[in-house]
Amino acid sequence: MRKKIVVGNWKMNLLSAEAATRAAELAKLVGFEDSVEVGICPAFLSLAGVSLVLRESVIGVGSQDVFWKSSGAFTGFVSAEMVRDAGCRYAVIGHSERRGRFGKLEVEESTLPFFGETDETVNLKLKATLAAGLVPIVCVGESLAEREAGQTDAVIAAQIAGALDGVEDLSTLVIAYEPVWAIGTGKVCDSTEANRVCGFIRSQVPEAYRDHVRVQYGGSVNPGNAAELFSQPEIDGGLVGGASLKPEDFIQVINAAK
């Protein structure tokens, strides 16, 4: 049986001291009960501090992105080896916001080319993440326009094919289904449809790994909807945004996965 995994994506929130405090509060709530795998992904500058706070906790730490080169003249980028050195267990790859696909646009539209993640760069980052010994969380999902055009499955199939191209060992892979139109909007994909899409995602993974790969749902997960979503047979947990910033809310989401 696949172990449920619930990971909080803190995005660009919390200064280092506050991130460490929130992590400590969450660790007390989680305790040492590990029937659900739990992780949090703070901003880069908080990774080392949060990892130190959680060094004796069952909670793992993850980065929100990695670069595919291990070193070199790449100003402003952070390698998979660097985040592992900071204490990370996980790395999120290809989040819709990195791809410039926002459910709620909070930047000038003219700046969208800055968010230039592609299926090719997701693939490169996946290979680097695996080589560094990190657990990859690869994000896929459709925009509202793509869903309304009936292109959900085709878009996701292409994203998975691009991400997994040439990758042989998928035994630690986690895939997060995040319908772009549900990210930061308060809209949630119907649990039955979310389950169908997560099952479709699993069908796109090489058959030898289908029983191993865990598929999360991400998109406005909160204490009020987590139990229904996580009860679906194809949904193996969640990639949680806003609700993960408050330990008292996040623990309810975690408990819903038990």
State the pLDDT at residue 74. 98
C-beta separation of 43 from 19 below 8 A: yes
CA distances from 125 to 21, 129, 137 (A): 30, 6, 11
Look up the pTM and report it. Answer: 0.97
From first to last of the 258 residues of the chain, give the pLDDT tens digit. 899 999 999 999 999 999 999 999 999 999 999 999 999 999 999 999 999 999 999 999 999 999 999 999 999 999 999 999 999 999 999 999 999 999 889 999 999 999 999 999 999 999 999 999 999 999 999 999 999 999 999 999 999 999 999 999 999 999 999 999 988 888 889 999 999 999 999 999 999 999 999 999 999 999 999 999 999 999 999 999 999 999 999 999 999 999
How many CA atoms, within 13 angstroms, populate the side-chain half-sphere of residue 232? Answer: 25
Let me know how long the chain is.
258
State the pLDDT at residue 186. 83
State the pLDDT at residue 234. 98
Residues with a catalytic annotation lie at 95, 178
Going along the chain from its start, the domains and CATH numbers come out as: 5-248 (3.20.20.70)
CA distances from 223 to 13, 59, 231 (A): 20, 19, 13
Residues of 9-28 as b/e, b for ≥16 C-beta within 10 angstroms? bbbebbeeeebbebbebbbe
